Each structure stands twice: as C-alpha cells, then as structure tokens.
A = this chain, B = another copy of it.
Amino acid sequence: MAAPAMSHNDALTPYCPVFQSAVELIGRRWTGAIVRSMLCGSLRFSDILHNVPGLSDRLLSERLRELEAQGIVSRTVYPETPVRIEYALTEKGTELQEIVLALSGWASRWGREAKPSCETAAACPGDLA
C-alpha cells in the first residue's frame, strides 16, 4: 500500500501555479460549502446564507464576488418587484462538482474517527462517486 506503484517519474511537479490558485480559491473559508450548496441549481442570496450555518452576509457577498470574478458563478437579476437575484454555477463551476463530490467522499470515508452520520449516503448525491 505504501509501495509506490506509480511510474518512476522523478521530474514531476516543478510547482504549478494554476493548481495552487485553484486549491486556494476553493479552500477559502466558506467557498467550498457555497459551491457545494449550489450544485442543485440556482439559489438566492438568502438561501445560501441559510443553509450554510455560521456564514455571515458579508462573507457570502465577498465569496460570491470572488467566485463571480473567477467565472465560477453567474449572477442574474430579475427586475421584478422587488428585485430577485439568483446565483448559479457556470459551466466552469459545474465542473467543480466532481471534485467537490470526490472530496466529500474522501472526507466521509476518513472523517475523524469514521463517523458515518453526516452526509455519507443520505444527504448528498455522492452516490455517483
């Protein structure tokens, strides 16, 4: 198991900036949870705020702006009365899904001392992993 069955490719990883950017982007405090909560479809500000406990409105708007700047989420304004604003994942954002799910799966399998009572199989569509 510890034996490296991989290739003897010694000349790997001369440091990768894009990977670094990506991992630090989704690693930001609430970003992962926000993206994860958006996997289902469009959401309004309050919805996201509501299903991520501990997240403040300031942080949410900050994260949302970052994600928008990265082209991961799109912001759509419906000029009704009052205005309704919906956030959705772009294609780039949607492709993060497999990563989020993979990470969810890993976290569930190895979470602390094997606590299978979080999302494991019920709460999240991690079944496809």
Contact = CB atoms under 8 A, between A and B. Distances in A.
B102 A16 contact: no
A36 B19 contact: yes
Contacts of A11: 123
Interface residues of A, number: 67
Interface of A: 1-2, 4-7, 9-24, 26-29, 31-33, 36-37, 39-41, 51-53, 71, 88, 90-92, 94-100, 102-104, 106-112, 115, 118-119, 123-125, 127-128
13 contacts: A5-B128, A7-B127, A12-B37, A12-B123, A13-B33, A13-B119, A15-B53, A16-B124, A18-B112, A18-B119, A26-B103, A98-B102, A99-B102
